[in-house]
């Protein structure tokens, strides 16, 4: 169970990428007070958690309704996560996030960033949705599913902490350290993505 928790935790942590979300959130909330920024961080994390829980619980039923085999989803999800990993390694993902954040900041009528772009697509994006669906689909029985959901909860708590401490955190870490962390996480995600594809191909061809 410990191995399952660690595996799920690492996969979700890498995809959601709290260290990468922190600087974006700090930039989006630069004009807000500390209380406002904290409230938006709590709201964004809560909404993202609900979205991911819905896909964790009902994702497999959704695939069944669409007549999509789980192994096909593993392969497709693995390929998608691998592309995200490439973006992380070459900093394209961070660049797109920053561009999206700049568009939101340039629109004065949008003040609350908790729903868009923070909750979705930055925290509960296609990558994290695919990951939680793959993890819960691989879980055998209620106990293992609860372990996966526990890992999700732990990652979301860390994400909340990262957003709340985004301003001070960026002053301590700086852009260079954040870039190194993102690239390392990208390499790890690429390996996890490859494993998902291998598992899907083994089950399909075996």
pLDDT score of 119: 94
Rounded-to-integer distance, Cα 38 and Cα 139, Å: 34
Cβ-based burial of 140 (10 A; exposed 0-12, middle 13-18, buried ≥19): exposed
Cα–Cα distance for residue pair 24/45, rounded to 1 Å: 14
What pLDDT digit, counting tens, does each position of 48-78 carry?
A: 999 999 999 998 888 889 888 888 888 888 8
- Full-model pTM: 0.79
Per-residue confidence (pLDDT) for residue 22, from 0 to 100: 85
**Residue 27 three-state SS:** helix
* pLDDT 10s digits, 99-145: 777 777 666 554 688 998 899 888 998 889 999 999 998 898 999 99
The whole-number pLDDT of residue 106 equals 67
| pLDDT, position 152 | 98
- Give the residue with greater pLDDT, 28 vs 12: 12
SS3 106: coil
Cis peptide, bond prior to residue 68, ω within 30 of zero: no
Tokens of residue 68, six digits: 């999509």
Which spans in 90-165 are helix H?
Answer: 92-105, 126-138, 141-164
The reported pLDDT for the residue numbered 110 is 46
Per-residue tokens: 67: 């007549």
pLDDT confidence bin for 85, thresholds 50/70/90: confident
Select from 71, 78, 84, 63 the least CA-distant residue to 15.
84
Mean pLDDT rounded to a whole number for the chain: 86
Q: Which residues contact 63 (CB under 8 A, 6 or more apart)?
A: 69, 70, 73, 133
């Amino acid at each position: 169970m410990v191995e399952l928790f660690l595996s799920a935790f690492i996969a979700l942590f890498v995809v959601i990428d709290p260290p990468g979300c922190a600087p974006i959130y700090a930039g989006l909330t630069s004009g807000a007070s500390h209380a406002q920024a904290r409230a938006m961080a709590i709201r964004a994390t809560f909404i993202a958690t609900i979205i991911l829980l819905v896909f964790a619980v009902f994702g497999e039923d959704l695939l069944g309704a669409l007549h999509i085999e789980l192994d096909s989803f593993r392969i497709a999800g693995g390929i998608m996560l691998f592309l995200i990993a490439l973006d992380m390694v070459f900093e394209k993902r961070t660049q797109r996030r920053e561009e999206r954040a700049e568009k939101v900041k340039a629109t004065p009528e949008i003040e609350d960033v908790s729903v868009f772009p923070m909750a979705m697509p930055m925290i509960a994006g296609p990558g994290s949705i695919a990951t939680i669906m793959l993890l819960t689909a691989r879980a055998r029985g209620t106990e293992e599913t609860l372990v996966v959901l526990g890992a999700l909860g732990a990652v979301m708590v860390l994400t909340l902490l990262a957003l709340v401490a985004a301003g001070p955190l960026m002053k301590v870490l700086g852009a260079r350290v954040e870039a190194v962390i993102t690239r390392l996480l990208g390499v790890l995600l690429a390996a996890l993505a490859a494993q998902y594809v291998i598992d899907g191909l083994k089950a399909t061809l075996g």
